[in-house]
Amino acid sequence: MTNALVFILKTALSLYSLAFLLRFYLQVTRATASNPLNNFVQSLTNFFVLPARKFIPGFHGYDLSGLVLCWISEVLLVGLVLSVSTIDLEMITSNIFIGVMCLALINVLKMLIYIVLVSTFALAILSWINPFSPVMSLLHGMTAPFMNVFRKRIPPIGGIDLSALFVLVACQVLLMWPIESMYRLVALLMRG
């Protein structure tokens, strides 16, 4: 029974964390506002984001409440996983508390990289299969900030834009090197 409850809590926290981050990401990238994904994410998260706006100020026109709620849900998720698995509640120290908060931040960064990775991959596949799909405008909006970095420096080769390939490689490198290094550093901090 306990395992089932933990599974349900982990799933709900993970999905809400992703929804909060998607809400913030779609706003930052200025992806088309009238798409089904944006409408779904807004409907799913309004219950939490609208009251949180009273306490969490915006910054330069960006609604930071979704980002902060994403981090809070990741803190709860990491705390839940640690409390169920290895950490004795009486052994919690300031290092573990700071470590949980850092792990949650790293998880948010990792999730952001995965959002870019999946949307870039979907854009690349759809551009070959169905370039006139209604989803293409959303995917272009979600990936344009990263693709344009490479488009400015690497011209199309034989009429083929390779910027998606470079974004995918960059995302994989970020996941393999700095993200894993941060995980190891936080693990050392938590061991004390």
CA distance 18 to 11: 11
User: Mean pLDDT across the chain, nearest whole number?
Assistant: 90
**What's this model's pTM, rounded to 2 decimal places?**
0.91
Q: What is the pLDDT of residue 87?
A: 60
121-174: pLDDT as tens digits: 999 999 989 989 889 999 999 999 999 999 999 888 888 889 999 999 999 999
Residue 82 vs residue 74, higher pLDDT: 74
91-102: pLDDT as tens digits: 667 788 899 999
Q: What is the pLDDT of residue 31?
A: 79
pLDDT > 80? residue 32: no
pLDDT > 70? residue 119: yes
The band of 190, judged by pLDDT with boundaries at 50, 70 and 90, is confident
Report DSSP letters for the chain, one per residue: -HHHHHHHHHHHHHHHHHHHHHHHHHHHTT--TTSHHHHHHHHHHHHHHHHHTTTS--BTTB-THHHHHHHHHHHHHHHHHHHHHT--GGG--HHHHHHHHHHHHHHHHHHHHHHHHHHHHHHHHHHHH-TT-THHHHHHHHHHHHHHHHHHHS--BTTB--HHHHHHHHHHHHIIIIIHHHHHHHHHHHH-
Q: What is the pLDDT of residue 187?
A: 87
CA distance 121 to 171: 11
C-alpha radius of gyration, the chain, whole number: 19
CA distance 115 to 18: 9
Q: What is the pLDDT of residue 150?
A: 94
Looking at the 3D structure of the chain, how many domains does it have?
A: 1
Helix axes 163-174, 94-129, angle to 10 degrees: 160
Q: What is the pLDDT of residue 14?
A: 95
The parent domain of residue 146 ranges over: 2-191
CA distance 122 to 135: 10
Residues 41, 119, 78, 5, CA torsion sign: positive
Q: What is the pLDDT of residue 88?
A: 60
Highest mean pLDDT pick, 15-19, 30-34, 35-39, 56-60: 15-19
Task: Read off the pLDDT of each residue in 8-37 and give the average, rounded to a whole number.
Answer: 91
Task: Read off the pLDDT of each residue in 32-47 and give the average, rounded to a whole number.
Answer: 88
Task: Read off the pLDDT of each residue in 86-92 and give the average, rounded to a whole number.
Answer: 60
Residues 6+ apart with CB under 8 A from 34: none
